[in-house]
Amino acid sequence: MKQKLLLLVCFVAGIGFSQAQGLPTNPAPGKCYVKCITKDEFKEVEETIQTYPAYTSLKVVPATYKTVEERVLVKEATKKFVYVPATYETVDVSYVKQAPSNDLRVVPASFGNDSRSFEVYPQTSGWEYKVLEDCPSVNKDDCVAACFVEYPAQSRTVSFATLASDASTNSIAIPEQTATYKKRVIKTPARMDEIEIPAEYKTITKRVVDTPATTTSNTVAAQYQTVTRTVLDKKGGITTWEEVDCEVLNATPIPVYYELGSARLTSDSKRVIDERLLTILNDKPVNIEIMSHTDSRGNDDFNMSLSQQRANSVVNYLVSKGISRSRLSAKGYGETRLANRCANGVECSENQHQQNRRTEFRVLSN
């Protein structure tokens, strides 16, 4: 249920202003009022209801059995196949060990001898100058004689070979060569002999139904119970103003303390809740918010979860006392709203830490 913010009304204006705003017409100086909507009123009525319908019970009459004999097949007829291997005999088989062929014999070429003369230098002639021996002149040119000289041609005889007959071949026949080898051939082929194997039977005893199971019926009467139920007697929804202590409109600490790391309510804490919270909720049709806290020791996320569990513990306790859960809200603040200086890393006594493991409440409009 979505909660509206608390409406705090203090007497600060005249009656005309109060009526214009829908405030209480006769407020008392110094008093605070909370705007409430009246709840539905209920009453209890008794009603007889059927808790168990009438029904028919059945009782089984078991079946009876008898023993009979029966001849049953325990092994089906079949066939067996026996393999009879083939028999062999040995024979000689001829074959050509080397096929016939022709060999060739080479007849080499034969040669003859011959010769031929060749002119290796032609006949020549010409003038030749010759210095005379014992020339008396100092100038040698005075002792030169010119002679016309002829030289005969020069020739040479060369011997060479001539081809009498070229190389050739003669064919020589080579006959084939034969041999024999041993070979095992089938005398009688392999076969499968088929043998019949007869079926086998056995006589057994078994129990069969002699008379089938039946049932007998019995009618069981219905059962009834008178129950008390709550019904709507008077519809709520009317806006009223309820006078409350101004202190409870703000976060008001109540001496509900917890053990370290625990959300369990002690017997002393339950007594305080009965005196402080249950009284207000029973006297006034108001809603309240429960706010729980932890000290700074431990993991921040764990402390946030633990504070929510502590607030839920108070709400669950009030519900067990008959307060509607719709009038209660629970909020955990972890270690975000310490009541003293004992934050993370600050050395404090156990009593100082316990002051932070607390629960507060405030009244809300509904």
Domains of the chain: 102-172 (no CATH), 246-364 (3.30.1330.60)
Full pLDDT tens readout for the chain, 366 residues: 333 333 333 333 333 334 434 566 666 665 565 555 555 566 778 888 888 888 888 888 898 999 998 899 989 999 989 999 999 999 988 988 888 888 888 888 888 888 888 787 888 887 777 776 777 776 766 676 677 778 888 888 888 788 888 888 888 888 888 899 999 999 999 999 889 999 999 999 989 988 998 888 888 888 888 888 777 776 655 455 555 554 444 456 677 777 777 888 888 889 989 988 888 888 877 888 999 988 898 899 999 999 999 899 999 999 999 988 988 999 999 999 898 999 988 999 988 988 888 888 887 765
What pLDDT sits at residue 150? 84
What pLDDT sits at residue 239? 55
- Write the secondary structure of 158-206 as one string of H (helix), E (strand) and C (coil): EEEEEEEECCEEEEEEECCEEEEEEEEEEEECCEEEEEEECCEEEEEEE
- The single-letter code of the amino acid at 5 is L
Q: What are phi and psi of 356, to 5 degrees?
A: -85, -20
What pLDDT sits at residue 236? 56
What pLDDT sits at residue 18? 44
b/e per residue, 318-333, with b = 16+ CB within 10 A?
beeeebeeebbbbebb
* Distance (Å, whole) CA 17 – CA 81: 121
Neighbours of 166 (CB within 10 A): 9
Neighbours of 302 (CB within 10 A): 13
* Distance (Å, whole) CA 206 – CA 69: 6
pTM of the full structure? 0.38
